[in-house]
Amino acid sequence: MATARRQETSFSLWRRLATVAVIGVVAGLATAPQPAHAQIGSGRYSSIVVEAGSGQVLEAASPDAARHPASLTKLMTLYMAFEALRDRRIALDQYVPVSAHAASMSPTKLGLMPGTRITVDQAILGLVTKSANDAAAALGEMLGGSEDRFAQMMTLRARALGMTHTTFMNASGLPDPDQWTTARDMAILARRLISGFPGYYKYFSTPSFVWQRRVIANHDHLLRSYPGADGMKTGYTQASGYNLVSSAVRGGVRLVGVVMGASGAGERDAHMISLLDQGYGQLDIPTERAVARASSHGPIAAAMAAPIERTAVERTSAHARVSDPVWGIQAGTHPTEKAARSAALIARKVADDGVVRTDPVRVNRKTVWRAQVTGLTQADARSACAALAKRKTPCAVVRIDARQVASR
């Protein structure tokens, strides 16, 4: 399999990706696109960058290797919904019934109750911003009659689109050992979403939406940090690592990038930024100077099998909005780092976003370890703590810049 990966990846890409450990672009500094530091050696890493109009591959690393899609699955769910909207089989203001099965989905979710209804429009917004698993299952049930049947429909449609290595088992991307895709297949799907549904593609640019008096921010941080980025989808499970599909337009040229198997959200985002910059560099389209990306996340670590990311991606503005990802949750203090990591991983699974962090602190002349998940919005942090409280797990919402406990 290693031989196949070497055949898929050009020597020049490996040379560029292996030589750079830090990505940082300072505002106002005109530099050439920075080569990305690939997660060389990781058994689950793959990536691809293509020119959206022609499909020309600009960069690729193991693009045809089987990967778990995680919430990238929702891109196919949305494709099916957009197709039904285009064909007038459903309407945006049509109600989607919420079954007990849909309501039982693990977080992240909107918290839908069995027997209630949401509109198709609300379900779509829930998928593209919060990556809501309950909304995805409900939408799948409406379109397919059952989620299992919908997954079969998703797979058949994916194969018809040319996604020959993809099999879907559910509408959300929640873990299933038989659910697989590839970076190349995800790039094909992204291009089809862009070209086939220009009117509905705008949903992916939604920065946030209000749900039951809560502001839900989009999990895609590139919408705020990368010039020209206009959306797509994040994804994470413990088996998949951190995944991202991104699309951006610069100089009239649209690129689609896919990164799968990163070891943290910050690493994933920084790597995508560098790959897109490299792609535009190959096309002689200059990097925009207006946005500073001086590394708040530090060096890009290797995406090895461990799903732990120690370095938080933090925005520390003293005037940050509630929808900004400067919040986190603290799942108690623990006598050992191992115990703190375990608690933080459980909290990260409940939050379905953010970065795991463990910090030593001195209490009564003893060292204990704090278990934290950082890089959340305040609304998502509160929602995660509420879910943990139901499990009788200690949790506090913290403001990352001040490390203050905001609520319990």
pLDDT attached to residue 406: 35
d(CA 128, CA 206): 8
In this prediction, residue 305 carries a pLDDT of 28
Catalytic entry in 47, 62, 99, 131: 131
323 is catalytic: no
CATH architecture, domain defined by 70-282: 3-Layer(aba) Sandwich (3.40)
Q: Where do runs of H (alpha helix) occur along 9-131?
A: 11-18, 73-86, 100-103, 120-125
pLDDT at 321: 41
Which of 71, 99, 208, 247 is labelled catalytic? 71
User: Is 74 noted as a catalytic residue in this protein?
Assistant: yes
Quick one: pLDDT at residue 199? 94
pLDDT value at residue 364: 66
The predicted pLDDT at position 390 comes to 78
What are the residue boundaries of the structural domains of the chain, listed by start?
A: 70-282, 327-407
Sign of CA dihedral 200, 204, 208, 210: positive
Q: In angstroms, rounded to a whole number, what is the distance separating the alpha carbons of residues 335 and 323?
A: 33
- Say if residues 371 and 340 touch (Cβ distance below 8 Å): yes
Could you check whether 70-282 and 327-407 share the same CATH topology? Answer: no
Q: Is 109 a catalytic residue?
A: no
Residues 6+ apart with CB under 8 A from 101: 137, 141, 147
Q: 10-residue block means of pLDDT along the chain (408 residues)?
A: 43 41 34 42 84 95 96 98 97 97 95 96 96 97 98 98 98 96 98 96 93 90 94 94 96 96 90 94 76 35 30 31 63 86 84 78 76 80 81 80 36
46-51: strand order across its sheet = 57-61, 46-51, 253-262, 241-250, 229-237
Terminal CA-CA length for the chain = 48
The domain made up of 327-407 has a fold known as Alpha-Beta Plaits (3.30.70)
**Token pair in block for residue 201:** 């593609």
Contact present, 6 and 270 (Cβ < 8 Å)? no
pLDDT at res. 343: 86
Can you read off the two tokens belonging to residue 289? 């100077």
Whole-model pTM: value is 0.67
